[in-house]
Amino acid sequence: MYIRKILIGILMLGILGGCYFMYSISQTIFKPITAFNNEEAYLYIPTGADFKDVKEEILPLLNDMNAFETLAKKLGYTKRVKGGKYVIQKGMNSNDIVKTLLGKSEFVAVTLPSAKEITPIKKIARIISAEIEATETEVYNVIVDTIYPVSKGFKLSELQYIYDSNTYMVPWNTSAEAFRDTIYNRFDKKKANE
Look at the alpha carbons of 89, 91, 93, 94 in this order and tell me if their dihedral is positive or negative: positive
* Average pLDDT of the residues in 61-66: 95
Q: What is the pLDDT of residue 162?
A: 83
Q: Tell me: pLDDT of 79 over 70.
A: yes
Give residue-wise pLDDT tens across range 110-147: 999 876 676 788 999 999 999 999 999 999 999 999 89
Interacting residues of 18 by C-beta distance below 8 A, sequence separation 6+ = none
Name the H helices within the chain: 2-30, 51-58, 65-74, 94-102, 121-129, 136-144, 147-151, 159-162, 176-193
DSSP state of 26: H
Q: Is 90 exposed, middle or buried (0-12, 13-18, 19+ CB in 10 A)?
A: middle
DSSP, collapsed to helix, strand or coil, labels residue 136 as helix
| Pair 136, 149: CB distance under 8 Å | no
* Average pLDDT of the residues in 173-192: 90
Give residue-wise pLDDT tens across range 138-180: 999 999 998 998 888 888 777 777 887 889 999 999 999 999 9
Mean pLDDT, the chain, rounded, equals 90
Q: Could you tell me which CATH number the domain at 31-105 has?
A: 3.30.1490.480
| Pair 125, 139: CB distance under 8 Å | yes
Of residues 134, 184, 181, the one with CA closest to residue 162: 184
Q: Tell me: pLDDT of 48 over 80.
A: yes
Q: What is the pLDDT of residue 150?
A: 86
Q: What is the pLDDT of residue 82?
A: 96
Interacting residues of 82 by C-beta distance below 8 A, sequence separation 6+ = 45, 101, 102, 105
Neighbours of 65 (CB within 10 A): 15
